[in-house]
Amino acid sequence: MKETKYIFVTGGVTSSLGKGIIAASLGKLLQARGFKVTNQKLDPYINVDPGTLNPYEHGECYVTVDGHEADLDLGHYERFLNAPTHRANNITTGRIYQNVINKERRGDYLGKTVQIIPHITDEIKRNIKLLGSKGEFDFVITEIGGTVGDIESLPYIESVRQLRWELGRNCLIVHLTYVPYLAAAKELKTKPTQHSVKALQEQGVQADILILRTEHEISMEMRKKVALFCNVEPSAVMQSIDVPTIYRVPMNMQHEKLDEVVLTKMGFDLAKTPEADMDKWIKFVEKLEGAKEEVRIGIVGKYVQLPDAYKSIIESLIHASAYNNKKLKLDLILSDKLTEENVEKKLCKLAGIIVAPGFGQRGMEGKFTALKFAREKNIPCLGICMGMQTMSIEFARNVLGLTDANSTEIDPNTSNNVVDIMDEQKNILDLGGSMRLGAYKCKLKKGSKVYDIYKKENISERHRHRYEFNNEFKQRFEDAGMMCTGLNEESNLVEIIELKSHKWYIGVQFHPEYSSTVVNPHPLFINFIKAAIEK
Task: Assess whether 376 carries a catalytic annotation.
Answer: no
Catalytic residue among 381, 385, 442, 484: 385
Give CA angle at 302 (297, 306), nearest 5°.
Answer: 75
Q: CA 122, 125, 130, 132 torsion: positive or negative? A: negative
Catalytic residue among 461, 468, 513, 522: 513
Question: Do residues 509 and 419 lie in contact, with contact meaning Cβ atoms separated by under 8 Å?
Answer: no
Q: E strands, 277-413, where?
A: 294-301, 327-334, 352-355, 381-384, 406-407
Task: Assess whether 86 carries a catalytic annotation.
Answer: no
- What is the rounded distance in angstroms from the CA atom of residue 231 to the CA atom of residue 206? 8
Q: Minimal CA–CA distance to 317: which of 83, 496, 533, 500? A: 533
Question: Do residues 486 and 494 lie in contact, with contact meaning Cβ atoms separated by under 8 Å?
Answer: yes
- What is the rounded distance in angstroms from the CA atom of residue 347 to the CA atom of residue 256? 44
Q: Minimal CA–CA distance to 55: which of 306, 227, 269? A: 306
Return the C-alpha torsion angle 133, 139, 140, 142, nearest 10: 150
Catalytic residue among 76, 119, 502, 511: 511
Long-range CB pairs of 268-274, under 8 A, 24+ apart, other chains included: 273/33, 273/34, 274/33, 274/34
How far is residue 162 from each of residues 101, 132, 157, 168, 175, measured CA to CA in Å? 22, 17, 9, 10, 17
Question: Do residues 175 and 22 lie in contact, with contact meaning Cβ atoms separated by under 8 Å?
Answer: no
Q: Which residues contact 89 (CB under 8 A, 6 or more apart)?
A: 38, 39, 40, 41, 64, 70, 74, 77, 131
What is residue 46's three-state secondary structure?
coil
Task: Assess whether 119 carries a catalytic annotation.
Answer: no
Question: Do residues 109 and 119 lie in contact, with contact meaning Cβ atoms separated by under 8 Å?
Answer: yes
Amino acid sitting at position 148 = V
Beta bridge partners of 241: 214
- What is the rounded distance in angstroms from the CA atom of residue 256 to the CA atom of residue 262? 11
Amino acid sitting at position 355 = V
User: What residues are labeled active site?
Assistant: 385, 511, 513
